[in-house]
Amino acid sequence: MPPLINARQEVFTQNWVEAKPITEAAIIAGYKPNWAASVASRLSRNVKVLARYNELQEQAASKKKATVQERQEILTEIVRAKPEDYLILSEDGRDLVVNPKAMKSMAVSYLRTEQIALGKMPVRLTRVGMADKNKAIDLLNKMDRIYNDTPQQGNPTTNIMNIIVIDGETKDIISQVKERTGKLLEANRP
């Protein structure tokens, strides 16, 4: 739906979507303050304004939702990540320090730094916990429908077999097998 033709109604609707009180949204849209409450009440029930309001709400919600590609990129980062990707050598070359990109990465589940004494020298120990790669692979496989872990419902696929026979005796034997198999299948149906 394109923006509303009436510019003041469009501004009212946009401000209303931003969670402003409807009277305030009407004043911002240019309606006189002494009439704003009445106009806002009327506009909030207007079919076109409501349709535009719902559309803007959906647009706002979809921007908050990660796309399939974004989710796949995050999961792929988890699969490919290694702890050494998130640690760098300090300037003096004595310590491994956390790379700032580790703070933003979904591949890192935790960072713990502690100082321990190693003889007379204090040593800083940094542990990097990585997200579960197997779960990330599993989710990627599900997203790509590589496998389906839900049991199949309903009737199993019927397999059809065509048997070509040359002589009458074999044809009679196959007919008997078909007749017996059909009776067995009927007996086993729920």
> Which of 130, 153, 170 finishes a domain?
130
Number of domains the chain contains: 2
Look up residue 71 and give its two tokens: 């989710």
Q: What is the largest CA-CA distance in the chain?
A: 100
User: Cα separations (Å) of 71 from 75, 86, 110, 179?
Assistant: 6, 21, 20, 54
pLDDT at 160: 65
Answer whether residue 145 is part of any domain. Answer: no
Are residues 96 and 55 located together in one domain of the fold?
no
Checking if the pLDDT of 1 tops 90, the result is no
pLDDT at 190: 55
In this prediction, residue 183 has a pLDDT band, given cuts at 50, 70 and 90, of: low
Answer whether residue 180 is part of any domain. Answer: no
Answer whether residue 147 is part of any domain. Answer: no
Look up residue 141 and give its two tokens: 């496989």
Of 5-14, 111-120, 160-169, 181-190, which range is least confident?
Answer: 181-190
pLDDT at 151: 58
Spatial contact of 36 and 29, defined as CB atoms under 8 Å apart: no
pLDDT at 41: 93
User: Cα separations (Å) of 113 from 58, 125, 126, 167?
Assistant: 43, 6, 4, 83
What is the pLDDT of the chain when averaged over all its residues?
80
Are residues 23 and 53 located together in one domain of the fold?
yes
- pLDDT tens across 118-173, in order? 788 777 777 778 888 888 888 888 888 776 655 556 555 566 666 677 788 877 88
Are residues 89 and 123 located together in one domain of the fold?
yes
Are residues 60 and 93 located together in one domain of the fold?
no
CATH number for the domain that contains residue 37: 1.10.10.1400
Answer whether residue 52 is part of any domain. Answer: yes
Are residues 60 and 95 located together in one domain of the fold?
no
pLDDT at 175: 79
- pLDDT tens across 56-100, in order? 888 877 777 777 888 888 889 889 988 778 777 778 776 777 777
Cα–Cα distance, 4 to 2 (Å, whole number): 6
Are residues 51 and 89 located together in one domain of the fold?
no
Answer whether residue 170 is part of any domain. Answer: no
Are residues 59 and 108 located together in one domain of the fold?
no
Spatial contact of 130 and 107, defined as CB atoms under 8 Å apart: yes
Cα–Cα distance, 168 to 103 (Å, whole number): 78
Work out the number of other CB atoms within 10 angstroms of the CB of residue 139: 16
Q: What is the pTM of this model?
A: 0.44
| 55 φ, ψ (degrees, to nearest 5) | -65, -45
Answer whether residue 72 is part of any domain. Answer: no
- pLDDT tens across 39-65, in order? 999 999 999 999 999 998 888 777 777
Answer whether residue 97 is part of any domain. Answer: yes
Checking if the pLDDT of 188 tops 60, the result is no
Domain that holds residue 122: 82-130
